[in-house]
Amino acid sequence: MAKGRFGKYGGQYVPEIVMPVLTELEAAYEKYRNDPDFLAELKSYYMEYAGRPTLLYYAERLTKHYGRAKIFLKREDLLHTGAHKINNALGQVLLAKRMGKKRIIAETGAGQHGVATATVAALFGMECKVFMGAVDIERQKLNVFKMKLLGTEVVPVTTGTSTLKDATSEAIRYWAAHIEDTHYIIGSAVGPHPYPTMVRDFQSVIGSEIRQQLLKETNGRLDYLIACVGGGSNAIGTFYEFRNDANVRKIGVEAAGRGPAVGDNAQTLSNPASRPGVLHGAYSYLAQDDDGQVIEVYSISAGLDYPGVGPEHAMFHDEGTVKYVGINDQEALDAFQLLSREEGIIPAVESSHALAYLEKLMPQTTSDEVVVVTLSGRGDKDVQQVAKALGEEL
């Protein structure tokens, strides 16, 4: 069995053409992941450019609203570019620079990872191409324009269903043809080894900071940890630090969309109908039809709208290390409005899925317990869509 397995999940299911560059990346990552200079440089960009550490904010009014456990929000929404995606983009661009690569490519669905990648490419003066499904380009015009402003070329993908999964395949195809000078910054904890490990490591700063910050806030007490799961990068970054803390209950929230029918949600782990398979280089749980064709999934949140999930989550799911649940569009919209009203914080629709789980969790908690929700991003990008969903004309 190959390297890069999380239990039976993960692996390197990629064409032979890509193997040399994956091997090169793996070697570079092994070399730098514990290299003091690399880590110091990454830390300085986290602090001086991205805005780390992010606040662990005590949501007093939200806590009062539920009248049970204390609720804290890990404010990844306060990062530069407005989401946790920049943690990974910075780590990978620094690695790409050390590998002598000249060009960065990425895939994007909602455009958040595309913007984060375009941003770091601008910062390091690298050429950048972002692959994006034609359907998503139409849905996310604001982020498309942002990427262009940042000097990135947005490449429309019109194959298959013209969405995120097709953009990812196209990025891999482009990579296969330009392996000498190109680094592919994948946007979540998915893809072939070493990506799931590398993305997890770059996002793990979220959980490490939470542990540190709780020492002061709650004397280290933590009972529940909640994060939303698309590909699973903010969630793995949140949970990893606490993976062996059995007393911390970890909950990954997937998008239950508009219902349980196939194609109406983006639940890969919390959906009893989904089963393991291979997409984009990794063996993990996968939304697929009876013939093993990958299906187009749905969520109101473009960032959760991916048919696969990171392989480490698949292992955590089987082991019971993390519990995975679904939150539907309406529940997420309600949470979006609740946090805006109660705390003056407009959350990303993705993060609203994590927040919405509080409705279910809080009645079971007691006032001495502590809940942390990772607020993976801010909601400015979603305001127009939410207005529409609420029947408002802007």
Partner 1 sequence: MSRLQDKFKELAAQNKKGLVIYLTAGMPDIQGTIDAVKMAEKSGADIIELGIPFSDPMADGPIIQAASYQAIQRGMTLPKVLDLVREIRKFTQVPILGMGYINNMLNYGFEKLTVDAREAGIDGFIIPDVPHEESGEMKQLCKKQGLHLVEFVTPGTTENRIKETCTTADGFIYCVSVNGVTGVRKIDYTPINNVIENVKKQTDTPCAVGFGIGTPQAAQEAAAKSDAVIVGSAVVKLIMENRMEEAAGLISDIRQALDEKVK
Residues within the interface to ligand PLP (CB under 6 A)? 83, 110, 112-113, 188, 228-235, 303-304, 348, 350-351, 376-377
Residue 313 binds: one of ligand PLP, partner 1, none (C-beta under 5 to 8 A by kind)? none
**Min. distance of Cβ 327 from ligand PLP in angstroms?**
13
Is 169 assigned a catalytic role?
Answer: no
Among 7, 138, 159, 388, binds partner 1 (CB under 8 A): 159
Q: Is it true that the peptide bond before 156 is cis, omega within 30 degrees of 0? A: no
Instruction: Name 276's bridge partners.
Output: 285
Residue 176 binds: one of partner 1, ligand PLP, none (C-beta under 5 to 8 A by kind)? partner 1
Pick the catalytic residue: 107, 209, 331, 343? 107
Indicate whether 286 belongs to the interface with partner 1 (CB under 8 A).
yes
Residue 348 binds: one of ligand PLP, partner 1, none (C-beta under 5 to 8 A by kind)? ligand PLP
Closest CA to 82 of 42, 111, 61, 41: 111
CA distance 198 to 164: 21
* Stretch touching partner 1 by CB under 8 A, among 174-182, 239-247, 317-325, 375-383: 174-182
CA distance 92 to 158: 27
Pick the catalytic residue: 85, 101, 250, 381? 85
Question: Pattern of binders to partner 1 over 245-284, x per CB under 8 A?
Answer: -------------------------------xxxxxx---
CB-based burial label for 261 (10 Å; 0-12, 13-18, 19+) = exposed
Pick the catalytic residue: 76, 241, 376, 381? 376
Is 64 assigned a catalytic role?
Answer: no
Indicate whether 197 belongs to the interface with partner 1 (CB under 8 A).
no
Going by their DSSP bridges, the two strands 370-375 and 322-328 should be labelled as unpaired
**Min. distance of Cβ 180 from partner 1 in angstroms?**
8
Indicate whether 1 belongs to the interface with partner 1 (CB under 8 A).
yes
* Residues 145-164: b if buried by 16+ CB within 10 A, e if exposed: ebbeebebebbbbeeebbbb
Indicate whether 294 belongs to the interface with partner 1 (CB under 8 A).
yes
Indicate whether 169 belongs to the interface with partner 1 (CB under 8 A).
yes
Is 102 assigned a catalytic role?
Answer: no
- Tell me which residue has its CB nearest to ligand PLP: 377
Number of residues forming the site for partner 1 (CB under 8 A): 39
Residue 160 binds: one of partner 1, ligand PLP, none (C-beta under 5 to 8 A by kind)? partner 1
Closest CA to 193 of 26, 60, 323, 310: 26
Which residues form the interface with partner 1 (CB under 8 A)? Answer: 1-3, 11-17, 19-21, 23, 159-160, 165-166, 169, 172-173, 176-179, 276-281, 286, 288, 290-295
Q: Which residues are catalytic?
A: 85, 107, 376
